[in-house]
């Protein structure tokens, strides 16, 4: 699967490098979205969640940390490459690097990656759940709104940064520079969240993990001042880091690991749909002459309601097993 995903991303990069027009561009971006942001993260988190049991939280947080690090480093490298050798050649180099990574991964890890894995770490001490069984389980739908809360909220707010800056009388330059706080806290929280999940379990932490985001949204709604920008972004980064770790662990704890890939695929699809709908929903409220302060207050209410729903669902799970 790792070989398939890496080579698929390499093909997408090569298509971009040699595309003669818009159809090739669209195909290249589709392949990169499908194999890159989609399957790379899905495969990595699924494989690690299946391979680790006792230290699953730490392992997932380490894997997830690769994304913010890449988001900080790769754009700089790509821009520098495009300036030096052109954007087509840069995508060609990326394709070659991905092929090289495929060979390297197979040489170093190929023999130690199991082709299949069945372990006794089943959800709640019972047999591993199939995707069909999970889709009939009410708990899945009670937990899902809280799990997709962080990406939904952050996408909605980040997409509308201009009206947010205008409502708070911030310059866009100040707001952009404040994103350093988000990146730093996001990365730091990943390494804090992993040990916490291993110690207390994702089911105990899940109903509370949106608290930093709720604080950030309430601060945006009720407070003023230039100092608020880095504070709100730091709280958002904290919430996002905890959420990313929980999303990699919770399904294995609830439903076991045999069908983890299929179960996570459903959850990821819902999350992608939610993040696509978030800017539209927030934009519709802004079009109705709502202020950003009122929009973020609604988002805070959603986060609180989703947390209470998840707490009730997980309590029901404990009582019924």
For 134-170, the pLDDT digits (tens) are: 999 999 999 999 999 999 999 999 999 899 999 999 9
Structure-token pair, residue 111: 């023999």
Q: How does pLDDT run across 28-76, given as a tens digit for each residue?
A: 999 998 898 788 888 888 888 888 888 888 888 888 888 888 877 887 8
Q: Which two tokens stand for residue 83?
A: 């300036």
pLDDT at 123: 47
Task: Please tell me the distance from the alpha carbon of residue 9 to that of residue 100, in angstroms, as a whole number.
Answer: 12
Give the chain as a 3 state SS string: CHHHHHHHHHHHHHHHHHCCCHHHHHHHHHHHHHHHHHHHHHHHHHHHHHHCCCCHHHHHHHHHCHHHHHHHHHHHHHHHHHHHHCHHHHHHHHHHHHHHHHHHHHHHHCCCCCCCCCCCCCHHHCCCCCHHHHHCCHHHHHHHHHHCHHHHHHHHHHHCHHHHHHHHCCCHHHHHHHHHHHHHHHHHHHHHHHHHHHHHCHHHHHHHCCHHHHHHHHHHHHCCCCCHHHHHHHHHHHHHHHHHHHHHHHHHHHHCCCCHHHHHHHHHHHHHHHHHHHHHHHHHHHHCCCCHHHHHHHHHHHHHHHHHHHHHHHHHHHHHC
Q: Looking at residue 68, what is its pLDDT?
A: 80
Over 60: is that where the pLDDT of 253 sits? Answer: yes
CA atoms within 13 A on the CB side of 163: 19
Over 70: is that where the pLDDT of 119 sits? Answer: no
What pLDDT is stored for residue 48 in this prediction?
Answer: 86
Residue 209: pLDDT band (50, 70, 90) is very high
The pLDDT-based confidence of 173 (bands split at 50, 70, 90) is confident
Q: What is the mean pLDDT of residues 5-24?
A: 93
The reported pLDDT for the residue numbered 232 is 94
Tell me the pTM. 0.79
Indicate if the pLDDT at residue 126 is higher than 50: no
Q: Between the CA of residue 108 and those of 31, 101, 102, 103, 195, what are the distances in Å?
A: 26, 10, 10, 9, 27
Query: Crossing angle for the helix pair 172-200 and 161-168, nearest 10 degrees?
Result: 110
């Amino acid at each position: 699967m790792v070989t398939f995903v890496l080579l698929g991303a390499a093909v997408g990069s090569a298509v971009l490098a040699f595309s003669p027009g818009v159809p090739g561009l669209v195909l290249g971006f589709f392949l990169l979205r499908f194999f890159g942001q989609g399957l790379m993260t899905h495969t990595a988190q699924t494989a690690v969640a299946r391979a680790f049991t006792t230290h699953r939280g730490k392992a997932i947080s380490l894997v997830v940390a690769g994304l913010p690090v890449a988001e900080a480093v790769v754009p700089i490298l790509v821009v520098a490459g495009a300036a030096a050798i052109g954007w087509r050649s840069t995508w060609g180099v990326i394709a070659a690097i991905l092929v090289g990574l495929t060979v390297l991964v197979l040489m170093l890890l190929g023999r130690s990656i199991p082709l299949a894995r069945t372990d006794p770490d089943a959800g709640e001490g019972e047999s591993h759940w199939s995707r069909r069984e999970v889709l009939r389980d009410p708990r899945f739908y009670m937990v899902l709104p809280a799990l997709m809360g962080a990406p939904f909220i952050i996408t909605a707010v980040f997409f509308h940064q201009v009206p947010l800056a205008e409502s708070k009388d911030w310059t866009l330059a100040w707001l952009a520079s404040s994103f350093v706080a988000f990146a730093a806290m996001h990365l730091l929280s990943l390494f804090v969240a992993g040990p916490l999940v291993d110690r207390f379990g994702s089911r105990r932490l899940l109903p509370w993990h949106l608290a930093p985001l709720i604080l950030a949204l309430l601060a945006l709604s009720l407070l003023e001042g230039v100092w608020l920008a880095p504070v709100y972004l730091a709280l958002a980064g904290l919430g996002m880091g905890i959420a990313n770790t929980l999303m990699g662990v919770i399904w294995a704890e609830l439903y076991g690991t045999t069908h983890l890939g299929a179960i996570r695929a459903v959850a990821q699809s819902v999350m992608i749909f939610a993040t696509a709908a978030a800017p539209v929903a927030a934009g519709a409220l802004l079009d109705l002459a709502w202020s950003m302060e009122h929009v973020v207050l609604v988002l805070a209410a959603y986060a609180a309601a989703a947390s209470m729903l998840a707490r009730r669902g997980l309590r029901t799970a404990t009582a019924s097993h």
